[in-house]
Amino acid sequence: MRVLEIKGKTGRSKICVGEKLINLPQYLPETKTVIITNEDVARHYQQDFPPVEVIIVGAGEGFKTLDTAARIYDRLISMEADRSAFLVGIGGGIICDLTGFVASTYLRGVRFGYVPTSLLAQVDASVGGKTGVNFSGYKNMVGVFSQPEFVICDPQTLMSLPPEEHANGFAEIVKHAAIADSGYFEYLEKETGSGIELSLDVLEKIIYESVSIKASIVNRDETEKGERRKLNFGHTFGHAVEKTTGIPHGKAVSIGMVVAAELSAARGMISGKDVDRISNLLSRFNLPTKMEGNKDTVLDALAKDKKREGDHIHFVLLQSIGKAVIEPISLAELEEILK
Ligand SMILES: NC(=O)c1ccc[n+]([C@@H]2O[C@H](COP(=O)([O-])OP(=O)(O)OC[C@H]3O[C@@H](n4cnc5c(N)ncnc54)[C@H](O)[C@@H]3O)[C@@H](O)[C@H]2O)c1
Ligand SMILES: [Zn+2]
C-alpha cells in the first residue's frame, strides 16, 4: 500500500492506494459510523462491510439529487446520528460525491471518508474534495469543497466493475498522463498493450500515478482558480459532446482530448505524431477518437458554454505530451479543426 496526501484549506485527505476494503475498520473512529452505498455495490460487497448501519440508495445519475440527500438526512436523524457521526461512502463517483455532500451539510458538517469502487472514482472523483449533487437538469450544480479524511483505493473491487465502466476511468488516466507526465504516458503505452485486461499490479501502479498527479495539482490549487483547470483537458469540448449526444462521459472526453490535441498541433505546439500517440492510446481502452454526433449542435452548445469570453473559449492545450497550457481559442478556429 502507498499513501498520498491532500493538504487543503477544506481539510486533509489521506489516500491509501492498494489498501483493502476489509481493513476499513482500522480507519474508523469509535463513534457511530454509517455507510452510504448503492444497490450494485451492496450486492457485491456488503458481506465485507464492518457491522455498522448501512444506507442503500439507487444507482445512476438520477439518484444524485437533493431528494436523495434529503432521504439520507431523514435516515441519519432516525438513527440518532449526532455531530460525532462518521459517514463512509462506498461506491462509484456518484456515491462519493453524494456522501461528501451529505456529510458536509448534515448538522453543518460531520466527518467522512470514501472507499471508491469504480476506476473513475479511484483515480478522479474521490480525490480533490469536490462534492455535490445534480439540480434541475444541471450536473453538479449544488455542492461544496470538502476533503474526505481517508480514501481507500482497493483495486480488487474493480474486478466486479462492468467492462464499459473501465473506459470512463481510463479516459481520465490518459488525461492525467497527457497533461502532467510524459514518463507515465510512455509507461501506459508500454504496459497497456492488452487494453483494459490489466493485472492487479499494473492497475495499482496506474491508480497511484494518476492520484499523485491529481493530488499534486489540487495541493497547488484546491478551489480551481488556476492550475486545477488543466484537469479539464478534453472536457470543454467533451462536455458539449456528452450533452448533445448522451454518450458516456469517458467517451465524450476521449473525443474532446483528440480535438484539443489537434488544436495544439494546428498551433504548432505538438506534432501530428503526438496526436496519433494520444488517439492510439485511447483506442486501446475502447475509447472513440472521432467526432460523434452533429458538429453544428456541438459547436452551438460550446457557444453557450459558461466559460466563454466574447467569441473565445479557454481551452486546455498541450505544449508537449506531459505539459498542459490554458489558451483562448476562437469558435472559428475550432470549426476549422472539426472540418
Ligand atoms: N468529485 C469529483 O471531483 C468528480 C470527478 C469526476 C467525476 N465525478 C462524478 O462521478 C460520477 C461518475 O462516477 P462513476 O463513473 O464511478 O459512476 P457511478 O458512480 O455511477 O458508478 C458506475 C456504475 O458502476 C457501478 N459500480 C461501482 N462500483 C462497482 C463495483 N466495484 N462493482 C460493480 N459495479 C460497480 C455503479 O453502481 C454504477 O452503476 C459523476 O456523477 C461525476 O459527476 C466527480
Ligand atoms: Zn471527467
Number of domains making up the chain: 2
Burial (CB count within 10 angstroms: exposed 0-12, middle 13-18, buried 19+), residue 89:
buried
Residue 213 resides in a domain: no
Q: What is the pLDDT of residue 131?
A: 98
Q: What is the pLDDT of residue 307?
A: 63
305 versus 290: the higher-pLDDT residue is: 290
User: Do 124 and 135 fall into the same domain?
Assistant: yes
User: Do 99 and 174 fall into the same domain?
Assistant: no
Between CA 302 and CA 317 the distance in angstroms is 16
**pLDDT band of 306, cuts 50, 70, 90:** low
Evaluate if residue 272 carries a pLDDT over 80. Answer: yes
User: Do 137 and 168 fall into the same domain?
Assistant: no
Element (H, E) at 314: strand 312-320
- CATH (domain of 243): 1.20.1090.10
User: Do 137 and 260 fall into the same domain?
Assistant: no
pLDDT digits (tens, 9 = 90+) for 126-152: 999 999 999 998 999 999 999 999 999
Residues facing residue 308 across a β-bridge: 313
Residue 287 resides in a domain: yes
CB of 94 shorter than 6 A to ligand 1: yes
Residue 205 resides in a domain: no
Domain of 68, in residue numbers: 2-160
User: Do 141 and 261 fall into the same domain?
Assistant: no
Q: Report CA(337)–ligand 1 centroid distance (Å).
A: 32
**For ligand 1, atom 7: residue with the closest CA:** 125
pLDDT digits (tens, 9 = 90+) for 165-200: 999 999 999 999 999 999 999 999 999 886 667 889
pLDDT digits (tens, 9 = 90+) for 278-302: 999 999 999 999 987 788 899 888 8
Q: 132-169 as b/e, with b when 16 or more CB fall inside 10 Å?
A: bbbeeeeeeebbebbbbbbbbbbbebbeebeeebbbbb
Residue 46 resides in a domain: yes
Average the pLDDT over 115-124 and give the result: 98
Ligand nearest to the CA of 171: 2
Residue 124 resides in a domain: yes
Residue 286: closest CA among 246, 235, 251, 241: 251
CB of 140 shorter than 6 A to ligand 1: yes
User: Do 142 and 173 fall into the same domain?
Assistant: no
Q: Report CA(235)–ligand 2 centroid distance (Å).
A: 6
pLDDT digits (tens, 9 = 90+) for 54-96: 999 999 999 999 999 999 999 999 999 999 999 999 999 999 9
Q: Report CA(96)–ligand 1 centroid distance (Å).
A: 8
Q: What is the pLDDT of residue 196?
A: 66
User: Do 316 and 176 fall into the same domain?
Assistant: yes
Active site residues per annotation:
108, 130, 172, 214, 224, 228, 232, 235, 239, 249
Residue 81 resides in a domain: yes
User: Do 114 and 228 fall into the same domain?
Assistant: no
CB of 230 shorter than 6 A to ligand 1: no
Between CA 93 and CA 4 the distance in angstroms is 19
Q: Where are the alpha helices (DSSP H) in the chain?
A: 39-45, 66-78, 93-105, 119-120, 163-180, 182-191, 200-220, 235-245, 249-266, 272-284, 295-303, 331-338
Q: Report CA(171)–ligand 2 centroid distance (Å).
A: 8
- CATH (domain of 10): 3.40.50.1970
Q: What is the pLDDT of residue 101?
A: 98
| Average pLDDT for the chain | 95
Evaluate if residue 332 carries a pLDDT over 90. Answer: no
**For ligand 1, atom 42: residue with the closest CA:** 93
Between CA 131 and CA 126 the distance in angstroms is 9
Residue 128: closest CA among 114, 147, 144, 115: 147
Average the pLDDT over 95-117 and give the result: 98
From 142, 160, 178, the end of a domain falls on 160
Task: Tell me which of 96, 117, 118, 158 to substitute to probe ligand 1's pocket, judged by most ligand atoms within 8 Å of the beta carbon.
Answer: 118
pLDDT digits (tens, 9 = 90+) for 259-269: 999 999 999 99
Evaluate if residue 103 carries a pLDDT over 70. Answer: yes
Residue 109: closest CA among 10, 221, 222, 215: 10
Residue 209 resides in a domain: no
User: Do 178 and 111 fall into the same domain?
Assistant: no
User: Do 112 and 224 fall into the same domain?
Assistant: no
User: Do 16 and 47 fall into the same domain?
Assistant: yes
Percent of the chain at pLDDT exceeding 90: 86
Would you tell me how many other CB atoms lie within 10 Å of the CB of residue 325? Answer: 14
Q: Report CA(179)–ligand 2 centroid distance (Å).
A: 13
Residue 229 resides in a domain: yes
User: Do 174 and 155 fall into the same domain?
Assistant: no
